[in-house]
Chains A and B, each alone.
Chain A
Amino acid sequence: MRINPRYINRLVRMGLNVQAYFTVGILIIIVAIIFFKGFPHTNFAFILSFPEDMGREGGIFPSIVGTIQLALLSILLATPLGLGTAIFLTEYTKESLFTKFIRFGVESLAGIPSILYGLFGFIFFVIKLKMGWSLLAGVLTMTIMILPTIIRTSEEAIRAVPRQLRIVSYSLSASKWETIKKVVIPAAIPGILTGIMLSIGRAVGETAAIIFTMGSSLRLPLSLMDSGRTMAVHFYILAREGISMEKAYGTAVVLVLSILLINILAYYIMNKAIARYS
């Protein structure tokens, strides 16, 4: 018997529809579980107070500070490096063997799993350069990890800047660097910001690379050489060692909420940027 292709078509359409919404459903369920279980344990006191008894009591203030320090410092280092690379790749060269090499480097860095960054950061920064488990070692490792994201998004943003803008600038006898500084980069800012926001999100959520470089000290890191604990690491230790499920859920709320907000902001900026030139 031959089934009418139209029925098959309708059936497939329904099946695909269900699967697509199933995927969205997973996201909603994850976020909903974290929020319903965690919100009762989250309040201002939890955010602003220090943990006591290994995290069984008290709040997560030092880990919030540690997370912010890690994310901001690595962005501070990775942005000039990444943006510089992107400018070089788009404005200063044609595609050549040299750019191929650089692209190969960037692509390879993007593909390395975080545990290998952890291994590298541990042996290079922590042991060989004698930094010990410290904020500095964590920041440097994180900088390398987020570099590919910044390069890619900046490159795309710079490429999307219309040629006419550059031509007008040159016709006003601006030099190449002046054109880049005053015309190209300002026009590409939303795209660059998207990359920065996505990178912050990555730094906030990272665990494997951070736990072996920044360590897991519960104290507030006051200098670059102090060990510290990010929210993700704190959450991991609370959950894995079964220290306190309530505090783990509470930490998860703050962690997931901040990552969601950062990423939503990133896509909002990106959509604005796309709307600008199309």
Chain B
Amino acid sequence: MIDRTVLKEHLVKWVLVAFALSSLLFLFLIFIFILAEGLPLFLKVGVNKIIFGMKWAPTKGYFGIFPMIISSFLVTIGALIIGAPLGLSCAIYLSEYAGKRTKMLLKPAIELLAGIPSVVFGFLGVIYIVPLVRSYLGGSGFSLISTSLVLGVMILPTIISISFDALVSVPRTYREGSAAMGATKWQTIYKVIIPSAKSGILASFILGMGRAIGETMAVIMIAGNALKIPTSILDPLRTLTGNIALELAYATGDHRLGLFSTGVVLMVIIMILNYVANFGIKRKIAK
């Protein structure tokens, strides 16, 4: 009888190993299939003509996505300009100043904000932000600045929660030491806490960038999706994600392959951002 129990224990263990490996398998499948569809066009048309090509006319053989790469980075930087200071301020307030009751109110509110679907952000952006920009700043309203504003709000929860974790993990002794020197709370935060939480805070900004660059539905509703590099903050633009989402439903042949090539570029950018961010977070923990 003892054999059966032992056998069962072994069986359970191997089933669990298989389950654990499934995540790796899925990751592998996603990589392989996006690469298998996206890489052939790089070989056929040429890496330069895709990544640095200025013209996207996939049915005529032009697969240039350079304007979209630039646009993706522009909205991401725009989102960061809006989201980073606001998010960091919130995180500092939450970790250093807020009392227990305020925290009980603020933290859930921020996490609920993270749960609002991106289509809802996009919709409200179209109804409220776009007309506002159109009437006060000019242009069509579907623009770099509208998109950045909405994305800036959308990345707030990411920035706040990760910066908050970094700030909270600064040892108590640092604060006490600084206070003992007669520093005010703000001097302590500014000169002691923020510098020692620096890598975690940077990681939160980078993960926020990852979130913004990968965001799709809100962007295609607000960005205007024009196929050129924006020259002002009021110009419409099309991001890498937008390009995929707008055309995937009806694309065939090389056109579809071109969208997967766009996906490959997006995947590489996201991988780099995530790698850098994780490096920041891990270093913090190691310290």
* Residue B43 at the chain A interface, CB threshold 8 Å: no
Are the C-beta atoms of A120 and B34 separated by less than 8 Å?
yes
Closest partner residue, chain B, to A122 (CB atom) = B248
Are the C-beta atoms of B115 and A201 separated by less than 8 Å?
yes
Q: How large is the interface on B (under 10, 10 to 19, 20 to 34, 35 or more residues)?
A: 35 or more
Inside 8 A of B16's CB, which chain A residues have their CB?
84-85, 87-88, 92
Q: Which of A51-59, A162-170, A205-213, A218-226 makes up part of the contact surface?
A: A205-213
* Residue A114 at the chain B interface, CB threshold 8 Å: yes
Q: How far is the CA of A264 from the CA of B115 in the complex (A)?
A: 10
Are the C-beta atoms of B113 and A116 separated by less than 8 Å?
no
Q: Which DSSP category, helix, strand, loop or mixed, fits chain A's interface? A: helix
Q: How far is the CA of A262 from the CA of B112 in the complex (A)?
A: 10
* Residue A15 at the chain B interface, CB threshold 8 Å: yes
Q: How far is the CA of A177 from the CA of B16 in the complex (A)?
A: 11
Known: A113-B270, A256-B116. A23 touches B214 (CB 8 A): no
Q: Mark A36-79, 1 if CB is under 8 A from B, else 0.
A: 00000000000000000000000000000000000000000000
Contact pick for A27, options B9, B20, B113, B210, CB 8 Å: B113
Closest partner residue, chain B, to A208 (CB atom) = B216
Contact pick for A235, options B20, B98, B119, B248, CB 8 Å: B119
Are the C-beta atoms of A208 and B186 separated by less than 8 Å?
no
Q: How far is the CA of A85 from the CA of B20 in the complex (A)?
A: 4
6 closest A-B pairs by CB: A113-B214, A205-B117, A84-B19, A105-B24, A88-B16, A16-B93
Q: List 30 A-B pairs, Cβ < 8 Å.
A: A12-B189, A15-B89, A20-B93, A20-B94, A27-B112, A33-B128, A84-B16, A85-B22, A88-B20, A89-B20, A101-B24, A109-B30, A111-B271, A112-B270, A113-B210, A113-B216, A117-B30, A123-B33, A123-B34, A123-B37, A175-B9, A176-B9, A205-B115, A207-B119, A208-B216, A248-B123, A256-B120, A259-B115, A263-B111, A267-B111
